[in-house]
Chains A and B, each alone.
Chain A
Amino acid sequence: MTDDELIARANLGEAAAFEELYRRYRDWVVRLALRFTATEEDAYDVLQETFAYFFRKFPGFELTAALKTFLYPVVKHIALDLRRKRRPAADVDELAEVLPAPAVSESASDVARILESLPPLHREVALLRFVDDLSLPQIAAALDVPLGTVKSRLHHAVAALRKANRGGKFFEAP
C-alpha cells in the first residue's frame, strides 16, 4: 500500500493506517533524530513527539510530496528544541554546529569523519542525499530552500569529499 493510500485511510480514522505509517517511518525518524540529539533516550522522545504531531494533522492531511519531506523539518525542530531545553544557553545555530557525527556504518567511519568536518548546511544536504536517499527536489522541499540552493550545497559537499579523497581510499568499494 502506498503512502498516499495509507494517508487516505488515516484521514478516515483507520487505526491500522496510523500504525502502518508509524512502522514505515519509525526507524528513519529514530536515525534522523540521533543526528540532532545527544542520546538515544532523547531520540525516542523526538520519535514520540514527531508522531504525536503528525497524527494530530488528521483528518485533512494532504501529502503534497514525499512524507520524509514533511517529517524532516518536524524531527529537526523537535530535536533542536529538546537540545535547547537541555542546554538553555545555547542557540540553534550553535547547536547545529555541534551536531554529532552522522550515524553511519562502521566501514564508513572515515567518510563519516569527513562529513563531520563539512559546514552544517553542506553536511545536512549530503546526509539527506547519500544516507536518506532523497531526491534533490525532495531535499529542497524538506529544507524549504530553492532547488538551486540544494545543488549549490551538494556541489560544495561533493567537492569537499573529493578533496579529502585525493588518496582514493574513501571511494573504494566497501
Chain B
Amino acid sequence: MTEHPDPAEIEAARTGESTPEVDAHLADCAQCRALRDELATLADHLAAPPAPPVPPAVEEAILWNARKEALRVRRTATQRDRRPTRRLAAWAVAAGIALALGVGGLLRLAERTDGRFAASDVNRDGVVDILDAYALALHVEHGQGRGADLNTDGRVDGADVDLAARAAVELTRS
C-alpha cells in the first residue's frame, strides 16, 4: 500500500480490526502511526463516565418486570411442551381402543398390501396399524425413531401422522 490508508481504516487498526495491508502500512509509516496514537488518546478522553444511579423505585420496577416476563416465558414453554404430550396421548388412546376392539383383521402383513401401505409401516414391524401412526407422532413431536414422508410433500409432520392413522383405519374396515 503506497497511499496512506483512510483515517477510518487507521482507527479500525487501533482496535485490531484492520486488514493486513493497513497493518503493513502502519509498520512502515510513522505519520499514520502518529494518527493512530492520536486516536487512541481521543478514545481515552472520551471514555464513558459512570452512569447516574438508577432510582431504587425504577430499578425495582424493572426487576419486577424481569421476573414477571421470566414467568411468562416458562409458562409459554410449559404450554408448548404439553401440547405434543396431549397429542401423543390421543394417539396412544386411539391405539389402545383399536387393540381393545379386538380388530383381528387390523394386523395385516405389510407385504400383502400395496406400496402405499408398505410405506405406512413406519415402525417396520411387518404390519400396518395404528402403532405406526403413534411411532410417526413420536418422531414428529420428539424426533424419536424414524419418520416417513407419507404424503410426499417434502416434510414429515402431522399430516403424515394423520395419513398413517387413516391407513390403519382403512385396513381395520377392510
Contact = CB atoms under 8 A, between A and B. Distances in A.
A44 B8 CA distance: 34
A171 B42 contact: yes
Q: How large is the interface on A (under 10, 10 to 19, 20 to 34, 35 or more residues)?
A: 35 or more
Contacts of B49: 31, 103-105
Contacts of A173: 41, 44
A154 B51 contact: no
A107 B46 CA distance: 9
A151 B58 contact: no
A18 B71 CA distance: 11
B contact face: mostly helix, strand, loop, or mixed = helix
Contacts of B61: 48
Q: By CB atoms of chain A within 10 A, which of B11, B39, B47, B66 has the most?
A: B66
Contact of A108 (B6, B8, B45, B77): B45
Contacts of A104: 45-49
A140 B44 CA distance: 22
Given A105-B47, A135-B15, A13 B70 contact: yes
A contact face: mostly helix, strand, loop, or mixed = helix
Contact of B50 (A27, A129, A136): A27
B66 A22 contact: yes
Interface string B40-67: 0111111111111011001001110111
A13 B43 contact: no
A52 B65 contact: yes
A59 interface: yes
A31 B42 contact: no
A155 interface: yes
B67 A15 contact: yes
Interface of A: 10-15, 17-19, 22, 26-28, 30-31, 34, 40, 43-44, 47-48, 51-52, 55-56, 58-59, 102-105, 107-108, 111-112, 115, 127, 129-133, 135-136, 150-152, 154-155, 158-159, 161-162, 165, 170-174
